[in-house]
Chains A and B, each alone.
Chain A
Amino acid sequence: MRPELVELAQRIVTEAGLRGATDCECVIREGRELSVSVRLGETESIKQAEGKSLGIRVFRGQQAGTTYSSDLHWPAVEAMIDSALAIAAAASPDPDAGLPEASEMGVSAPDLGLYFPSTAMIAPEEAVAWAQRAERAALDCDPRLTNSDGGGFECGEGGKLLVNSRGFVGAVRASNCAVSAVPIASENGKMQRDYWYSAARRLGDLESPESVGRKAASRTLRRLGARKAATARVPVVFDPQTAASLLGHWLDAVSGESVYREASFLTGKLGGMVAARELTLVDDGTIVGGFGSAPFDGEGVPTRRTVVIGEGRLESYLLNCYAARKLGLRTTGNAARALAGAPGVSCGNLRLTPGTASPEEIIASVTNGLYVTQFLGFGVNPVTGDYSRGACGIWIENGSLAYPVEEITVAGNLLEMFRNVAAVGNDLVVRSAVSAPTLLIEGLTIAGS
Chain B
Amino acid sequence: MANFFAERYGVQAAELERYLAAALSRGGEYADLYFEHQASSSLTLEEGLVKSATQGISLGVGIRVLSGERTGYAYTDDLNPARILRAAEVAAHIASGPAQRQIAGLSAADLGQRPTASLYPVAQAATDAAMAMKLALVRRADRAARAYDPRIVQVRAGYADELRHILIVGSDGRCSSDAQPMARLSVFSLAREGAQTERGSAGGGGRVELEFFDQEITPEQLGEQAAREAVRQLSAVACPAGEMEVVLGPGWPGILLHEAIGHGLEADFNRKKTSAFAGLLGQRVAGDQCTVVDNGTLPGRRGSVNMDDEGTPTQCTTLIENGILKGYLQDHLSSHLTRAQATGNGRRESYAHMPMPRMTNTYMLAGQHEPEDIIRSVKRGLYAVNFGGGQVDITNGKFVFSASESYLIEDGKITAPVKGATLIGNGPDVLTRVSMVGHDLRLDQGIGSCGKDGQTVPVGVGIPTLKVDRLTVGGTGA
Contacts and interface: CB of A to CB of B under 8 A. Distances in A.
B56 A383 contact: no
Interface in B133-176: 135, 153-154, 156
Contacts of B388: 378-379
Contacts of A52: 77
Interface string A170-194: 0000000000000010000011110
B354 A45 contact: yes
Interface-centre pick from B55, B419, B424, B426 (highest chain A CB count, 10 A) = B424
Interface in A369-387: 376-379, 381, 383-384, 386
A189 B399 CA distance: 19
A311 interface: no
A70 B388 CA distance: 32
A341 B199 contact: no
B55 A379 contact: no
B73 A388 contact: no
A50 B388 CA distance: 35
Main secondary structure of the interface of A (DSSP, over half): strand
Range of interface residues on chain B?
Answer: 35 or more
A184 B274 contact: yes
A390 B400 contact: yes
Interface stretch (B239-247, B307-315, B409-417): B239-247
Given A47-B354, A48-B74, A342 B473 contact: no
Given A48-B74, A64-B52, A147-B273, A231 B422 contact: no
Contacts of A408: 424, 472, 474
B391 A390 contact: yes
A53 B77 contact: yes
Contacts, number: 249
Interface residues of A, number: 78
A94 B425 CA distance: 48
A92 B49 contact: yes
A341 B54 contact: yes
A35 to B, nearest CB: 9
Given A94-B49, A192-B395, A261-B156, A87 B55 contact: yes
Interface string B53-82: 111111110000000011111111100000
Contacts of B59: 69-71
A67 interface: yes
A231 B242 contact: yes
A411 B70 CA distance: 43
Contacts of A449: 242-243, 472
18 contacts: A46-B71, A51-B76, A52-B77, A70-B58, A87-B53, A87-B54, A147-B274, A191-B395, A193-B396, A262-B153, A339-B56, A378-B388, A378-B391, A379-B400, A379-B422, A383-B197, A384-B199, A390-B424
A70 B239 CA distance: 47
A31 to B, nearest CB: 11
B54 A66 contact: yes
Interface string A33-57: 0000001001111111111110000
B384 interface: no
Pick from B57, B153, B392 the residue with the most CB of A within 10 Å: B57
Given A340-B56, A384-B197, 7 more contacts: A64-B53, A65-B54, A86-B128, A191-B274, A193-B396, A378-B391, A412-B476
B421 A340 contact: no
